[in-house]
Amino acid sequence: MTAIGELPERAMRSAILSLSRQPRVGRLATRLSLTRSMVQRFVAGETLVEALDALDRLRAAGRRTTVDVLGESVQSEAAATAAADRYLELLDALAGRGLDGNVSLKLSQMGLDLSPELCRANVARVFEAAAATGAFVRIDMEDHARTDSTLAIWRELRAINPASGVVIQAALRRSADDITALIAERAPVRLCKGAYREPAAVAFPTKPEVDESYLTLLGRLLREGASPALATHDPRMIRAATDLVEREGLGRDRFEFQMLYGIRRDLQQQLVGAGYRVRIYVPYGREWYPYFMRRLAERPANVMFLLRSVVHEERRRPS
């Protein structure tokens, strides 16, 4: 039986996904000032040049960065190959401009859903290019059905570029075991809560359970992990991390916070001012419309989260 309250959320998700697949709506959205202002806040531009300028501004503000070239879930081998090519161009540009050599990619963009072999070949090309310039590559985590493949491909290709890592989602029930294995492998892990709506059989169904999982994994990574990255905008999670670091004298250089481009810039600045490392996840690309809509569809509450973030910062802006 469907729980009370699920139907409105399902209806909203269905509507958002439907809109994401309608090119006419996308073209209209790109012309609306409200839509563009929202997207410009959370996407660093459509071109590499625009992204590089955004990265320069973030560096001047004391932020570290990781760059995501938009365009996951490709539908052809040519598109997957082209996606890898864009990462090679990005890595070359970052090195040439003296910016952070740090990128994030998704395996569905590299062709995982088409062919694991194609995906490995494309990721290997990116890893090789990163190794040549001393760059770090993080493989993002997608829905639970791709978790095993994602970890397997990273483990297989890690030798090409040891400066690489993965993402673990606290929402998944399996993540405690994954963290145990990854700590033993000295793997750089980015811990996030997880934005995908997953079945209760594989994921914690309530926010308190996800939060408790995040806090538990956060503690393990800070004490035992190799350069963990804590991806969160949640003040409670941030406070738990800083309290633990200060209480146990772990050192602020042992880890970093990661936040999304354009979200809680006030909190980013507070952490930088307090001497913590902060890295910003910076997406760019012409595929911003479907990307933006899918992010909202993954968890419709994100709509209100983004709006609250904007309102919160505007209220704090000096008049």
Active site residues: 140, 190
DSSP string, the chain: -PPTTHHHHHHHHHHHHHHHT-HHHHHHHTT-HHHHHHHHHHS--SSHHHHHHHHHHHHHTT-EEEEEES--S-SSHHHHHHHHHHHHHHHHHHHHHT---EEEE-TTTTTTTT-HHHHHHHHHHHHHHHHHHT-EEEE---SGGGHHHHHHHHHHHTTT-SSEEEEEETTBTTHHHHHHHHHHTT--EEEE---S---TTTB--SHHHHHHHHHHHHHHHHHH-SS-EEE---HHHHHHHHHHHHHHT--GGG-EEEEETTS-HHHHHHHHHTT--EEEEEEESTTHHHHHHHHHHH-THHHHHHHHHHHHHHHHS--
